[in-house]
Structure 1
Amino acid sequence: MLRISVLSSILLLAACKPPASDEYLARMEVSDERTRPSEPVDSPDTEGAAWALGQSGRLLYGKPGEEPLLSLACEDGTLAFTRYERADANSKAVLALIGNGHVERLWIDAEQEGEAWLWRGRLPADDPRLEVLTGRNRVEATVPGAGSLVLNASQRPGEFITRCAGTMAAPPEPEESPA
Protein backbone atom coordinates (compact mmCIF):
# COMPACT_ATOMS: atom_id res chain seq x y z
CA MET A 1 0.00 0.00 0.00
CA LEU A 2 2.85 2.37 0.87
CA ARG A 3 4.49 1.70 -2.51
CA ILE A 4 1.31 2.56 -4.36
CA SER A 5 0.84 5.87 -2.50
CA VAL A 6 4.51 6.87 -3.10
CA LEU A 7 4.26 5.92 -6.76
CA SER A 8 1.02 7.83 -7.24
CA SER A 9 2.54 10.91 -5.51
CA ILE A 10 5.50 10.84 -7.89
CA LEU A 11 3.21 10.55 -10.90
CA LEU A 12 1.08 13.47 -9.69
CA LEU A 13 4.20 15.66 -9.24
CA ALA A 14 5.50 14.73 -12.69
CA ALA A 15 2.20 15.73 -14.24
CA CYS A 16 2.43 19.28 -12.81
CA LYS A 17 4.99 20.50 -15.36
CA PRO A 18 4.74 19.94 -19.10
CA PRO A 19 7.72 18.29 -20.79
CA ALA A 20 10.13 20.31 -22.93
CA SER A 21 8.94 20.85 -26.48
CA ASP A 22 9.97 22.44 -29.76
CA GLU A 23 7.10 24.92 -29.43
CA TYR A 24 8.56 26.37 -26.22
CA LEU A 25 9.76 29.52 -28.01
CA ALA A 26 6.29 30.05 -29.40
CA ARG A 27 5.08 30.44 -25.82
CA MET A 28 7.78 33.05 -24.97
CA GLU A 29 7.89 36.68 -25.94
CA VAL A 30 11.05 37.30 -27.97
CA SER A 31 12.50 40.79 -27.69
CA ASP A 32 14.21 42.68 -30.49
CA GLU A 33 17.27 43.19 -28.29
CA ARG A 34 20.53 42.23 -29.96
CA THR A 35 21.80 38.88 -28.69
CA ARG A 36 25.07 38.70 -30.56
CA PRO A 37 28.24 40.78 -30.32
CA SER A 38 29.03 43.67 -32.65
CA GLU A 39 30.73 42.93 -35.95
CA PRO A 40 34.52 42.59 -35.62
CA VAL A 41 36.67 45.51 -36.74
CA ASP A 42 39.81 45.46 -38.83
CA SER A 43 43.20 45.73 -37.20
CA PRO A 44 44.48 49.32 -37.26
CA ASP A 45 47.49 50.36 -39.32
CA THR A 46 50.23 51.20 -36.83
CA GLU A 47 52.96 52.25 -39.25
CA GLY A 48 54.41 55.43 -37.74
CA ALA A 49 52.64 54.93 -34.39
CA ALA A 50 54.68 55.69 -31.27
CA TRP A 51 54.44 56.02 -27.50
CA ALA A 52 54.17 59.53 -26.04
CA LEU A 53 53.52 60.94 -22.58
CA GLY A 54 50.16 62.73 -22.55
CA GLN A 55 49.31 65.87 -20.61
CA SER A 56 47.29 63.79 -18.15
CA GLY A 57 50.35 61.71 -17.26
CA ARG A 58 49.16 58.69 -19.24
CA LEU A 59 51.41 56.98 -21.74
CA LEU A 60 49.59 57.05 -25.09
CA TYR A 61 50.19 54.88 -28.14
CA GLY A 62 49.10 55.97 -31.59
CA LYS A 63 49.95 58.04 -34.62
CA PRO A 64 50.89 61.67 -33.93
CA GLY A 65 47.88 63.99 -34.26
CA GLU A 66 45.34 61.12 -34.23
CA GLU A 67 43.24 59.50 -31.52
CA PRO A 68 45.22 57.11 -29.29
CA LEU A 69 44.92 53.37 -29.87
CA LEU A 70 46.07 52.30 -26.39
CA SER A 71 47.03 54.00 -23.16
CA LEU A 72 48.75 53.11 -19.91
CA ALA A 73 47.94 55.00 -16.72
CA CYS A 74 49.35 54.69 -13.21
CA GLU A 75 46.77 54.76 -10.42
CA ASP A 76 48.46 54.38 -7.00
CA GLY A 77 50.71 51.52 -8.04
CA THR A 78 48.11 49.95 -10.33
CA LEU A 79 48.62 49.96 -14.07
CA ALA A 80 45.39 50.72 -15.95
CA PHE A 81 45.47 49.88 -19.65
CA THR A 82 42.81 51.03 -22.11
CA ARG A 83 42.26 49.84 -25.68
CA TYR A 84 40.47 52.61 -27.55
CA GLU A 85 38.11 50.52 -29.62
CA ARG A 86 34.34 50.24 -29.29
CA ALA A 87 33.21 47.51 -26.90
CA ASP A 88 29.72 46.14 -26.30
CA ALA A 89 28.23 47.38 -23.02
CA ASN A 90 29.23 45.33 -19.96
CA SER A 91 31.27 42.84 -22.04
CA LYS A 92 34.28 40.93 -20.80
CA ALA A 93 37.23 39.70 -22.83
CA VAL A 94 40.88 38.74 -22.78
CA LEU A 95 43.68 40.96 -24.04
CA ALA A 96 46.30 38.66 -25.55
CA LEU A 97 49.83 40.09 -25.56
CA ILE A 98 52.67 38.45 -27.50
CA GLY A 99 56.17 39.84 -27.54
CA ASN A 100 59.49 40.20 -25.77
CA GLY A 101 59.66 36.45 -25.22
CA HIS A 102 56.29 36.37 -23.42
CA VAL A 103 52.71 35.36 -24.13
CA GLU A 104 50.20 36.77 -21.65
CA ARG A 105 46.43 36.93 -21.35
CA LEU A 106 44.95 39.73 -19.27
CA TRP A 107 41.28 40.10 -18.30
CA ILE A 108 39.63 43.27 -19.57
CA ASP A 109 36.13 44.67 -19.19
CA ALA A 110 34.05 47.08 -21.21
CA GLU A 111 33.84 50.30 -19.19
CA GLN A 112 31.81 53.33 -20.07
CA GLU A 113 33.71 56.54 -20.73
CA GLY A 114 31.29 59.30 -21.64
CA GLU A 115 29.03 57.91 -24.36
CA ALA A 116 31.49 55.19 -25.43
CA TRP A 117 32.29 51.76 -24.03
CA LEU A 118 36.03 50.98 -24.16
CA TRP A 119 38.16 47.98 -23.20
CA ARG A 120 39.95 48.51 -19.87
CA GLY A 121 41.95 46.37 -17.48
CA ARG A 122 44.00 46.88 -14.33
CA LEU A 123 46.91 45.05 -12.72
CA PRO A 124 49.34 45.84 -9.92
CA ALA A 125 52.28 47.51 -11.66
CA ASP A 126 54.67 44.92 -10.23
CA ASP A 127 52.70 41.98 -11.69
CA PRO A 128 55.22 39.79 -13.58
CA ARG A 129 52.75 39.37 -16.47
CA LEU A 130 53.49 42.99 -17.45
CA GLU A 131 57.03 41.97 -18.44
CA VAL A 132 55.55 41.36 -21.90
CA LEU A 133 55.48 45.19 -22.25
CA THR A 134 58.82 45.97 -20.62
CA GLY A 135 61.18 44.68 -23.31
CA ARG A 136 62.50 46.62 -26.28
CA ASN A 137 60.75 44.59 -28.99
CA ARG A 138 57.39 45.03 -30.66
CA VAL A 139 54.31 43.53 -29.00
CA GLU A 140 51.07 42.37 -30.57
CA ALA A 141 47.95 43.14 -28.50
CA THR A 142 44.74 41.41 -29.57
CA VAL A 143 41.20 41.79 -28.27
CA PRO A 144 38.72 39.42 -29.95
CA GLY A 145 36.54 41.49 -32.27
CA ALA A 146 38.64 44.64 -31.76
CA GLY A 147 41.50 43.67 -34.04
CA SER A 148 45.16 43.08 -33.47
CA LEU A 149 47.21 46.11 -32.48
CA VAL A 150 50.96 46.06 -33.18
CA LEU A 151 52.84 48.06 -30.55
CA ASN A 152 56.04 49.19 -32.23
CA ALA A 153 59.30 48.58 -30.37
CA SER A 154 59.98 51.08 -27.59
CA GLN A 155 61.48 51.18 -24.11
CA ARG A 156 58.89 53.75 -22.93
CA PRO A 157 56.26 51.24 -21.71
CA GLY A 158 58.90 49.45 -19.61
CA GLU A 159 60.10 52.71 -18.08
CA PHE A 160 56.51 53.80 -17.37
CA ILE A 161 55.62 50.48 -15.70
CA THR A 162 58.82 50.52 -13.63
CA ARG A 163 58.08 54.06 -12.41
CA CYS A 164 54.50 53.08 -11.61
CA ALA A 165 55.65 50.03 -9.63
CA GLY A 166 58.07 52.31 -7.76
CA THR A 167 55.14 54.32 -6.36
CA MET A 168 53.78 51.24 -4.62
CA ALA A 169 54.07 51.03 -0.87
CA ALA A 170 56.74 48.64 0.30
CA PRO A 171 55.43 45.43 1.89
CA PRO A 172 55.43 45.57 5.68
CA GLU A 173 58.47 44.19 7.46
CA PRO A 174 57.83 40.89 9.24
CA GLU A 175 57.69 41.29 12.98
CA GLU A 176 60.58 39.86 14.91
CA SER A 177 59.65 36.99 17.14
CA PRO A 178 61.02 37.12 20.65
CA ALA A 179 63.70 34.46 20.94
Structure 2
Amino acid sequence: MTVKNKDNEHQLNTEKYVTDEHIKDDKIQQDTGTEPVIDGPEEAAKDININAKAEEYLQLLQRVQADFDNFRRRTLQERQEAAKYCSQRLVTVLLPVIDNFERALKAEGEDLQVFRNGIEMIYRQLRDVLEKEGVKQMEAVGSQFDPNLHEAVMQEQSDQYDDNVVTEEFQKGYLLADRVIRPAMVKVAKS
Protein backbone atom coordinates (compact mmCIF):
# COMPACT_ATOMS: atom_id res chain seq x y z
CA MET A 1 0.00 0.00 0.00
CA THR A 2 2.78 2.32 0.50
CA VAL A 3 3.67 2.00 -3.07
CA LYS A 4 0.19 2.97 -4.09
CA ASN A 5 0.24 5.97 -1.86
CA LYS A 6 3.48 7.17 -3.38
CA ASP A 7 2.02 6.82 -6.84
CA ASN A 8 -1.13 8.63 -5.82
CA GLU A 9 0.88 11.31 -4.15
CA HIS A 10 3.04 11.74 -7.23
CA GLN A 11 -0.07 11.90 -9.43
CA LEU A 12 -1.62 14.59 -7.24
CA ASN A 13 1.56 16.65 -7.34
CA THR A 14 1.68 16.41 -11.14
CA GLU A 15 -1.94 17.47 -11.50
CA LYS A 16 -1.36 20.44 -9.24
CA TYR A 17 1.74 21.44 -11.23
CA VAL A 18 -0.06 21.17 -14.56
CA THR A 19 -2.99 23.13 -13.23
CA ASP A 20 -0.76 25.91 -11.96
CA GLU A 21 1.04 26.10 -15.32
CA HIS A 22 -2.25 26.28 -17.20
CA ILE A 23 -3.37 29.13 -14.99
CA LYS A 24 -0.12 31.00 -15.70
CA ASP A 25 -0.53 30.41 -19.49
CA ASP A 26 -4.11 31.70 -19.40
CA LYS A 27 -2.98 34.91 -17.70
CA ILE A 28 -0.23 35.38 -20.30
CA GLN A 29 -2.67 34.85 -23.14
CA GLN A 30 -5.07 37.37 -21.67
CA ASP A 31 -2.32 39.98 -21.24
CA THR A 32 -0.96 39.57 -24.82
CA GLY A 33 -4.25 39.76 -26.71
CA THR A 34 -4.35 41.11 -30.29
CA GLU A 35 -6.05 44.37 -29.41
CA PRO A 36 -3.64 47.22 -28.59
CA VAL A 37 -3.91 48.72 -25.19
CA ILE A 38 -3.91 52.53 -25.28
CA ASP A 39 -2.44 53.95 -22.14
CA GLY A 40 -3.89 57.43 -22.44
CA PRO A 41 -4.66 60.46 -24.57
CA GLU A 42 -0.98 60.95 -25.54
CA GLU A 43 -0.92 57.56 -27.28
CA ALA A 44 -4.18 58.35 -29.11
CA ALA A 45 -2.75 61.69 -30.28
CA LYS A 46 0.40 59.96 -31.61
CA ASP A 47 -1.75 57.51 -33.59
CA ILE A 48 -3.74 60.42 -35.08
CA ASN A 49 -0.50 62.25 -36.02
CA ILE A 50 0.91 59.13 -37.69
CA ASN A 51 -2.29 58.67 -39.70
CA ALA A 52 -2.30 62.35 -40.70
CA LYS A 53 1.35 62.12 -41.82
CA ALA A 54 0.61 58.98 -43.82
CA GLU A 55 -2.32 60.73 -45.54
CA GLU A 56 -0.13 63.78 -46.26
CA TYR A 57 2.58 61.58 -47.82
CA LEU A 58 -0.01 59.73 -49.90
CA GLN A 59 -1.39 63.02 -51.27
CA LEU A 60 2.14 64.23 -52.01
CA LEU A 61 2.91 61.01 -53.86
CA GLN A 62 -0.29 61.34 -55.90
CA ARG A 63 0.58 64.96 -56.86
CA VAL A 64 4.12 63.99 -57.88
CA GLN A 65 2.77 61.09 -59.95
CA ALA A 66 0.27 63.40 -61.69
CA ASP A 67 3.02 65.97 -62.36
CA PHE A 68 5.24 63.28 -63.83
CA ASP A 69 2.42 61.98 -66.06
CA ASN A 70 1.77 65.54 -67.30
CA PHE A 71 5.50 66.07 -67.95
CA ARG A 72 5.78 62.81 -69.90
CA ARG A 73 2.69 63.65 -71.99
CA ARG A 74 3.94 67.20 -72.69
CA THR A 75 7.46 66.07 -73.74
CA LEU A 76 6.00 63.39 -75.99
CA GLN A 77 3.82 66.00 -77.69
CA GLU A 78 6.79 68.39 -78.06
CA ARG A 79 8.93 65.63 -79.63
CA GLN A 80 6.15 64.77 -82.07
CA GLU A 81 5.82 68.42 -83.08
CA ALA A 82 9.59 68.81 -83.41
CA ALA A 83 9.75 65.73 -85.66
CA LYS A 84 6.82 67.02 -87.70
CA TYR A 85 8.43 70.42 -88.35
CA CYS A 86 12.14 69.53 -88.16
CA SER A 87 12.75 70.23 -91.84
CA GLN A 88 10.97 73.60 -91.81
CA ARG A 89 14.22 75.58 -91.67
CA LEU A 90 15.76 73.64 -94.57
CA VAL A 91 12.62 74.00 -96.68
CA THR A 92 12.57 77.74 -95.97
CA VAL A 93 16.10 78.18 -97.35
CA LEU A 94 15.35 75.93 -100.34
CA LEU A 95 12.28 77.90 -101.47
CA PRO A 96 14.35 80.63 -103.21
CA VAL A 97 16.12 77.89 -105.20
CA ILE A 98 12.74 76.59 -106.38
CA ASP A 99 11.73 80.16 -107.26
CA ASN A 100 14.84 80.48 -109.46
CA PHE A 101 14.09 77.16 -111.17
CA GLU A 102 10.57 78.41 -111.97
CA ARG A 103 11.98 81.66 -113.39
CA ALA A 104 14.46 79.69 -115.52
CA LEU A 105 11.67 77.50 -116.88
CA LYS A 106 9.54 80.54 -117.75
CA ALA A 107 12.38 82.32 -119.55
CA GLU A 108 11.83 82.57 -123.25
CA GLY A 109 14.45 82.48 -125.89
CA GLU A 110 16.44 79.92 -127.72
CA ASP A 111 19.90 80.74 -126.46
CA LEU A 112 21.15 77.53 -124.89
CA GLN A 113 24.17 79.20 -123.27
CA VAL A 114 21.98 81.68 -121.35
CA PHE A 115 19.79 78.80 -120.15
CA ARG A 116 22.87 76.82 -119.09
CA ASN A 117 24.28 79.80 -117.18
CA GLY A 118 20.99 80.17 -115.31
CA ILE A 119 20.94 76.49 -114.36
CA GLU A 120 24.57 76.70 -113.17
CA MET A 121 23.68 79.68 -110.97
CA ILE A 122 20.79 77.76 -109.45
CA TYR A 123 23.06 74.72 -108.91
CA ARG A 124 25.61 76.88 -107.04
CA GLN A 125 22.83 78.43 -104.98
CA LEU A 126 21.55 74.96 -104.04
CA ARG A 127 25.06 73.75 -103.11
CA ASP A 128 25.58 76.87 -100.95
CA VAL A 129 22.33 76.17 -99.09
CA LEU A 130 23.34 72.57 -98.47
CA GLU A 131 26.83 73.58 -97.31
CA LYS A 132 25.32 76.04 -94.83
CA GLU A 133 23.25 73.14 -93.49
CA GLY A 134 26.43 71.06 -92.99
CA VAL A 135 26.22 68.89 -96.11
CA LYS A 136 29.60 68.22 -97.73
CA GLN A 137 30.38 66.45 -100.95
CA MET A 138 33.01 63.68 -100.69
CA GLU A 139 35.93 63.55 -103.08
CA ALA A 140 36.37 59.89 -103.97
CA VAL A 141 38.56 59.60 -107.08
CA GLY A 142 42.17 58.89 -106.16
CA SER A 143 41.41 58.05 -102.52
CA GLN A 144 41.80 54.65 -100.87
CA PHE A 145 38.60 52.59 -100.98
CA ASP A 146 36.74 52.76 -97.64
CA PRO A 147 33.56 50.66 -97.31
CA ASN A 148 32.25 53.21 -94.79
CA LEU A 149 32.41 55.98 -97.42
CA HIS A 150 32.21 54.18 -100.75
CA GLU A 151 30.02 51.61 -102.44
CA ALA A 152 32.05 49.64 -104.99
CA VAL A 153 29.99 48.60 -108.00
CA MET A 154 32.88 47.71 -110.31
CA GLN A 155 36.54 46.75 -110.29
CA GLU A 156 39.05 47.25 -113.07
CA GLN A 157 42.64 46.40 -113.80
CA SER A 158 44.70 49.56 -113.63
CA ASP A 159 48.35 50.41 -114.11
CA GLN A 160 47.68 54.05 -113.22
CA TYR A 161 46.24 53.42 -109.71
CA ASP A 162 47.36 51.22 -106.82
CA ASP A 163 45.26 48.33 -105.55
CA ASN A 164 41.98 49.36 -103.81
CA VAL A 165 42.08 52.97 -105.01
CA VAL A 166 38.93 54.62 -106.38
CA THR A 167 39.37 55.18 -110.12
CA GLU A 168 35.95 56.53 -111.11
CA GLU A 169 32.90 57.96 -109.38
CA PHE A 170 29.45 57.12 -110.76
CA GLN A 171 27.46 58.94 -108.07
CA LYS A 172 28.76 61.48 -105.56
CA GLY A 173 28.71 60.72 -101.87
CA TYR A 174 27.67 63.21 -99.19
CA LEU A 175 28.37 63.78 -95.51
CA LEU A 176 26.12 65.59 -93.06
CA ALA A 177 28.52 66.93 -90.44
CA ASP A 178 30.62 63.78 -89.93
CA ARG A 179 27.95 61.19 -90.82
CA VAL A 180 27.68 59.57 -94.25
CA ILE A 181 24.21 60.25 -95.60
CA ARG A 182 24.97 58.69 -98.99
CA PRO A 183 28.08 56.69 -99.87
CA ALA A 184 29.80 57.40 -103.18
CA MET A 185 29.13 54.81 -105.89
CA VAL A 186 32.59 54.01 -107.30
CA LYS A 187 34.84 51.84 -109.47
CA VAL A 188 37.91 50.42 -107.70
CA ALA A 189 41.32 49.42 -109.09
CA LYS A 190 42.63 45.93 -108.59
CA SER A 191 46.04 44.56 -109.40
Q: Same fold (TM over 0.5)?
A: no
Pick 1 or 2: higher relative contact order, CA cutoff 8 A, min separation 6: 1
The structure with the larger Rg is 2
Query: TM-score under structure 1 normalisation?
Result: 0.23
Higher strand share: 1
Higher helix share: 2
Query: TM-score under structure 2 normalisation?
Result: 0.22
